Structure 1
Amino acid sequence: MSSRFQFVDDHRGAFGVKRLCRILTVSRSGFYRWLAGADARVERARADAELAERITDIHTESDGTYGAPRVTAELRDEGERINHKRVARVMQKFNIVGLHLRKKVRTTIPEPAATPVPDLLQRDFTATTPNTRYVGDITYLPIGDGQFLYLATVLDLCSKRLAGWSIADHMRTSLVTDALTAAAAVRGASGLRGAIFHSDNGAQYASKEFAQVCEDLGVVRSRGAVGTSADRVP
């Protein structure tokens, strides 16, 4: 729970406390209580940093192979009374990792049956006039406990400003359509009509639902080469 509150604190300036608390299913009152306990967290952070130094020494001596259970055993052999859960938490916090395969989060899942869309930018990620060329992407934001939020963005290539965004705990097509619709709303009456929107070939951007939203908004779709990250965003 504390990792979610920390996420809210880190990103509230951009997304707002109310929205983030709703998405993360935490209460605003709970968040503000957590915020009031900052002094206690500072002391815990100091203790964690000291423990991390000891863990790092043990981890280094094992040539980077020891995970939390074996590090805990070593600390106990040195006379430390400690729970393996705390060791695991500190190792995760300070990115001290034993030998194991780490899961990679995929935010781009190709859609094999997608209708071809031309690459109108040809890696030219520039624009001389606002509201003419946009790029979109999906980024994952770790919030702890192996969970993530997903952020869809719409960037104006002329101003380099974020024109629209959407954040959610899923990567369904609505994540990217909401971001594009938000960008259109910011632009006023004319919206994005006639503008080019460039993306990768992820299933969300290649879906019929997204194509329909682009048509409704008057947006011209552009997609990069399949499997080529350089053709996505600058």
Structure 2
Amino acid sequence: MTFLDEREDLGVEPVLRELHVASSTYYRWRRAEREPCQRRRRDAELTEEIRTIHADSGGIYGSPRVHAVLKREGIHVGRKRVERLMRQDGLAGVSPRRKSGFTRRDPKATLASDLVERDFTPPAPNRLWVTDLTMIPTGEGPLWLSAIRDAFSRRVVAWETSAHADADLVLTTLEYASPPARSNPDS
């Protein structure tokens, strides 16, 4: 609904004159609302097709897959147009990367004590090690990388990979980083 529809007492011509808008522009705009151009009509038809494809996919398909289905069905439309129409209609695909998410700290868990008091500048090598666990997406599923670095030299002391992010991965990495136990010659 426009301002002029709400205020019929003002009259169209005086308002248009005050706004410096040509009356032909206003009436052409009003006619376009009643009789949309061919492109807008085609957009409405395509939006219906896109809604159907998106619904048939269980709400999973994004614009690239919807575009591919339209192309297979013989409907020639640009990928960007599909993106625009889906965005305008509030349709979005589901990305498999979003499912894995990030590791989140349990808000109920007690925090471990900060043994280094946020001071990561050790005076000598092998006095402070830092570690990280990273997920690397691959074609065969996630690959987890556990790495231990010496904070003094910034060199990787040990690393290990696994298909699962668990305590065994981190402990194995720590075992590789630890120097071998020396036998006591006196015993």
Please, what TM-score do these two structures have when normalized by structure 2? Answer: 0.46
Which of 1 and 2 has higher RCO (CA within 8 Å, sep 6+)?
1
- Which has the larger Rg? 2
